[in-house]
Amino acid sequence: MGKTNTKSFKELTTLKVGGEIKYFFEVKNQKELVDKVSFAKNKSLTIFIIGGGSDIAVSDKNFEGVVIKYVGSSVQVIGNLVKVEAGMNWDKLVEETVNRNLQGIECLSGIPGSVGASPIQNIGAYGQELSETFIELKAYDISNQKFVIFKNEDCKFSYRESIFKRKDYWQKFIIVDITLKLKKYTDNNLELQTIRDEILRIRGEKLVNPDEIPNAGSFFKNPIINKSKKDTLLIKYPEMVIFPFNNEYKISAGWLIEKTGWKGKSLGPVKVSDKHSLVLTNPEGKGTFSDIKSLADTIIADVDNKFGIKLEPEVQYINL
Ligand code: EPU
């Protein structure tokens, strides 16, 4: 049987906020997973699936349901195909593929969280996105109590989005493994390891390591605005950081937040990182969800007042 013990979301998330959990199970294979889902269903309890806990902000209320963490973490490499279980640490997987000279996810070095969480928000960094190498995943369908396969196109990937964030799919599927198709790397001038090292270095400079200072990565998405909005803003702010995105424009949320004066500022026990203003931190781990939510809402209101742009959280709010 899976391991059971009392836990709080505060212990299980990198932001270090969140209430106590009634039933917490770590499951290490598909059989244990099926058993724990039955357990929850027999008691009519809500199930919440947790991975590395690095992209969620959980309320301070106690959670009266079952939290399941899939911890199986085996990797199978067949040619250029890599099949890996959901419980593996994402960056460990990147390390392993780089060691095998397989190209395709090296720019995603240093992203916190588990492999199973990677498709949910279609993780991306430095011009690479999971969707580019993703073939399929296997998940347990909680409602129908059976295993199902989602191919790449079934996942409906877009910028930090997938079908698993949609209301009718959210928390309905427990991902047990994913399969990626990578390429043998052939560039003789540059090693994959060099690229990985450089990405880890840049991330170390700009982003905040959650093991040192609790945080959940980019708290907001970079907003997408249309051409007329972009043109109006550029007149007032010629130095604005903006990138073409499909037929529209992606504007840097970090820049917007910095311009409202929030970079490095605290509100109660929580703080906007002084390295990167997209990152909200809980420096001493003393802040609560409600502190984080107040800070996020204040930032959203201030950015809206100044620029007429509504920032959207990139992290998922849980158990509201
Ligand atoms: N910027 C500021 N002030 C700041 C931070 C950034 O002005 O405080 C400006 C900089 O001028 C920079 C631009 O914003 O040129 C973009 O910043 P950065 O390269 O750090 O990227 P980002 O768009 O802020 C995104 C992802 C990160 C990912 C990096 C690197 C989102 C929401 N975030 O950040 O992902 O690591 O690109 O590619 O798309 C995450 O999702 O948790 C995450 C960390």
> Where along the chain do its domains lie?
3-70, 75-202, 208-318
* Domain with residues 208-318, CATH architecture: Alpha-Beta Complex (3.90)
Provide the pLDDT for residue 202: 96
Within 6 Å (CB) of ligand 1, which residues are found?
125-126, 160, 206-207, 217-218, 221-222, 241, 252, 254-255, 258, 263, 276-278, 314
CATH of domain 75-202: 3.30.465.10
C-alpha 277 to ligand 1 mean position (Å): 9
Provide the pLDDT for residue 291: 98
Provide the pLDDT for residue 189: 84
Provide the pLDDT for residue 299: 98
C-alpha 315 to ligand 1 mean position (Å): 14
Provide the pLDDT for residue 176: 98
Provide the pLDDT for residue 5: 62
Model pTM?
Answer: 0.94
Provide the pLDDT for residue 297: 98
Q: Which of 94, 111, 205, 252 to mutate to test the pocket of ligand 1 (most atoms within 8 A of CB)?
A: 252
Query: Is residue 314 among the annotated active site residues?
Result: yes
Q: Which residues of the chain have pLDDT under 70?
A: 1-5
Q: Select the CATH number that applies to the domain covering 3-70 from these four: 3.40.225.10, 3.30.43.10, 1.10.10.10, 3.40.309.10.
A: 3.30.43.10
What's the rounded Cα separation, in Å, for the pair 119 and 165?
10
Provide the pLDDT for residue 6: 78
